[in-house]
Amino acid sequence: MSQSDSVRIVLASRPEGRPAPQNFRLEHAAIPAPAEGQVLLKILYLSLDPYMRGRMSAAKSYAAATEIGQPMEGGTVGEVIQSRDPAFKPGDIVLSHSGWQSYAVANAAQLRKLDPKAAPLTTALGVLGMPGFTAYAGLLTIGQPKPGETVVVAAASGPVGSAVGQIARIKGARAVGIAGGPEKCAFVRDTFGFDAVIDHRDPEMAAKLAAACPDGIDVYFENVGGHVWDAVFPLLNTFARIPVCGLVAHYNASGEFPGPDRLPGMMRQVLSKSLTIRGFIQREFAAAQGPTFREEMAGWIAEGAVKYKEDIVTGLENAPEAFIGLLEGRNFGKLIVKL
């Protein structure tokens, strides 16, 4: 690789089911030049997130699909190398959405400057960034946990789930986490301080969840779907709130979902228990709640009320394998690539 090379990973083909390494292609390109109002960034960290599976698919969704041959998209932290905007100078560190590439040109108006002394830079992609905000906005706006209530969340060792449980406890609720495997479960209980944790791979999962929620479930923060939803649904209390944040158990599914059709039975419970089921994409709350979130979350981290775990992989070339693992629970904490 020469000094003038930028490395990027593009979408080579659309996956059917589980993504495979051949769906990605590593390419070299010339380092781009910024125009007026733009900056050139050297990317330091790339966030890997479950939503990227949706961008690999051409199916209609809330955001446009990544085109074949285009770099995979993603949140990034980068250093300004060259600036053609008065608001930024070389050496500034910024949050951007530059995707899976080592250099990128970005519009200055879309960047947020980061203070490296205020918090580790990686937190801008995790607990103090999009996933932490997703937990905050979804739980507090839709879930609205009250003291003494029971809040259940799966993918509880990840950046969204871990923040959901810890914020629920700050608000006086009981937090019950669901995670895959004994190591993650122990971390969720001992470090994140959840009141109870259930391993979703345990064949007794449904019975153990019922035992951990003797007063039923008031808020179920839906991150996964699948067999976890099946275990949660009968335990929901009247007036339970269900922020539907993600369905990672289904992201690799293709074709029709297998029967039998349980929708009429589910709708009967939605009606008779007055359930609130509300899907959301975090950005709908970003303008109104982003600044308050960053201030409140930074305070909770400083006082030890919120802890976080990061899983850092080194080298852009390792991003595809790490991303494939994310959809299967091989990550342990917020997954980030250090370039």
CA–CA separation, 276 vs 220, rounded Å?
10
Least distance between ligand NAP and beta carbon 160 (Å): 3
CB neighbour list of residue 252: distance below 8 Å, 6 or more residues apart: 15, 17, 18, 19, 53, 327
DSSP codes of every residue in 33-84 = ---TTEEEEEEEEEE--TTHHHHTS-S--SSPPPPTTSBPP--EEEEEEEES
The site for ligand NAP, by CB under 6 A, has a size of: 31
How far is CA 30 from each of CA 4, 24, 38, 82, rounded to the nearest angstrom? 6, 19, 17, 15
Q: How many CA atoms lie within 13 A of 110 on its CB side?
A: 14
| Beta carbon nearer to ligand NAP, 89 or 250 | 250
Q: How many CA atoms lie within 13 A of 206 on its CB side?
A: 11
Question: Which of 200, 208, 294, 309 contacts ligand NAP by CB under 6 A?
Answer: 200
CA–CA separation, 142 vs 167, rounded Å?
13
Q: Is 246 in the site for ligand NAP (CB under 6 A)?
A: yes
Least distance between ligand NAP and beta carbon 36 (Å): 33
Phi, psi dihedral angles at 77 (to 5 degrees) = -115, 130
Least distance between ligand NAP and beta carbon 117 (Å): 26
> Reduced to 3 states, what is the DSSP secondary structure of residue 235?
helix
Q: Is 223 in the site for ligand NAP (CB under 6 A)?
A: yes
- Count of residues in the chain: 339
Q: Using CB under 6 A, which of the segments 13-21, 89-97, 151-159, 264-272 binds ligand NAP?
A: 151-159
The letter for the amino acid at 71 is P
Contacts for 285-290 with beta carbons within 8 Å, 24 or more apart?
Answer: 285/133, 285/137, 285/141, 286/133, 286/137, 289/133, 289/136, 289/137, 289/141, 290/133
Question: Which of 224, 235, 316, 319 contacts ligand NAP by CB under 6 A?
Answer: 224
| Binding flags for ligand NAP, 263-302, as an x/- string (CB under 6 A) | -----------------xxx--------------------
Q: Is 155 in the site for ligand NAP (CB under 6 A)?
A: yes
Question: Which of 11, 248, 301, 316 contacts ligand NAP by CB under 6 A?
Answer: 248
Q: Using CB under 6 A, which of the segments 12-20, 22-30, 219-227, 253-261 binds ligand NAP?
A: 219-227
| Beta carbon nearer to ligand NAP, 6 or 122 | 122
Least distance between ligand NAP and beta carbon 34 (Å): 30
Q: Is 179 in the site for ligand NAP (CB under 6 A)?
A: yes
Q: Is 131 in the site for ligand NAP (CB under 6 A)?
A: yes
| Beta carbon nearer to ligand NAP, 168 or 326 | 326
Q: Is 77 in the site for ligand NAP (CB under 6 A)?
A: no
The letter for the amino acid at 207 is A
Q: Is 180 in the site for ligand NAP (CB under 6 A)?
A: yes
- Residues forming contacts to ligand NAP in the complex (CB under 6 A) are 49-51, 131, 134, 154-155, 157-161, 179-180, 184, 200, 223-224, 226, 228, 245-246, 248-249, 280-282, 326, 329, 331, 335
